Structure 1
Amino acid sequence: MDTAPPAAADSTADSPAGKGKALVDDTAAAIRARILSGEIPIGAQLRQAELAGALGVSRTPVREALRQLQAGGLIEVLPNRGAVVRVPSPWEVREAYEIRAELEGLACVRAVRAITPAILRELREANETVRAVSGGGTPGEGASPSTAANDCFHTLIHTVAGNQRLARAIKDVNEAFPRNVSALVLHDNPRHREDNIREHERIVEALAAEDAERARAEMKAHVTSAGEQLARWYEQRSATVFRG
């Protein structure tokens, strides 16, 4: 019986073109991470030579990576300035957080089915960390401890929800905006900082009571409030701080 010859192995990834694309993707991911952490602040110019030196690559993958990030809306090209980290408009923030509120509310509904005393304890510990570090000094460049603790609180719920597609969708919304700005919002507004902590407590109480609809409502209200505060922060500062 005749047999077909074995299929040739796919060598696309090992080809020069494949390696070049992988390098561009890695470079874009590295620049994106620095923007989202605040290491490269909003409004900052992105100079190809400096980025190439910092990342240990040539200008070519940096140039292509910046085009990729521009297409994704994270950076923009301005006259006489070149590529800069884009300042999100307040309406973008409100729209994104409207979606995020629905997604995180759903995560709470799903989490109620699988919540355990150990997870509840972790949620409370994460919130106490937010309380302990939020009132400290002015957040600098890079991810702040309060942002990390806040992210831990929410990520625990996403993980317990047990839906990877849902978790990815929430992550995509979060990564549309630099994460360090959320820490600045909390730092600049002590009342909002305290509200944020109490909202977390109410979410945990609803999860502990296995009340899915209350957990959904508390999370939606929490995320909507956070989005409004973030939008107002951009409204107040974008024109003067980032645009000059």
Structure 2
Amino acid sequence: MSFAGFPIRRAVLSVLVSCTFLQVPAAARASDVVFSACLAELRASAADKGVGTATFDAHTAGLVPDLEVVGFLDAQPEFVTPIWDYMAGLVDEERIADGRALLSQWASVLARVEAEYAVDAATVVAVWGVESNYGRNFGERPLLNSLSTLSCFGRRQAFFRGELFNALKILEEGHVAPERLTGSWAGAFGHTQFMPSTFLRLAVDFDGDGRRDLIDSVPDALASTAHFLARAGWRSDQPWGFEVRLPQGLDTAGSGRRNKRPMAEWRRAA
């Protein structure tokens, strides 16, 4: 067997490997340039969005784009995982048992929450369990890093820019310490995963310490969740949903979560 071709192969391989390592820093440099220009643009509009320039500078200094989050935009599990698989991953016997224990542990707070917002304790705790496994999983991504990246890359940049400015307002108002503001790739945070805009609209200070803290205050988080549901039209005397089976041939054209119809109309369609 001849080995004469091996040096040439090694040379070609070395060139290919070198090119690969050259391309990665070049791509990173390109994204850094885009990111820096985008942050400069955002800084120029910060005051108009209600965020002080000093706040913007303090909390965006040193940020680098996390391009991994851009890929998550079209891969959210609730949209790509079959419904029963999705629910099985969120609701199991352990989580139900934990929920019952926490209903007892926080009974006095939950009673006050129910009296204030007319949302039953079991529903509030169920949301808590689904959203963060009762505070065990807030998400570990620095919020400002994710939101600034999504403000500059990918689709829905206008939406995420609004959420970035809202997150900066939360910090400016002193509700949450900067190092505690971590969450999901899309910017949701706290015990029940509020987006920054939802926080500013609906979070409440239920423990009376002068801050709305959905990370380190369980009473604030539970009351804010009930407030959210109440403002969304929650009625404790109605079931939260129905399981249905679609008949063969049902015309679903025009259906969707934003196209609501009365139950009677769905019965007629079936």
TM-score w.r.t. length of structure 2: 0.26
Q: Report which of the two has the higher share of helix.
A: 1
TM-score w.r.t. length of structure 1: 0.28
Structure number with greater Rg is 2
**Whose relative contact order is higher, 1 or 2, with alpha carbons under 8 Å and at least 6 apart?**
1
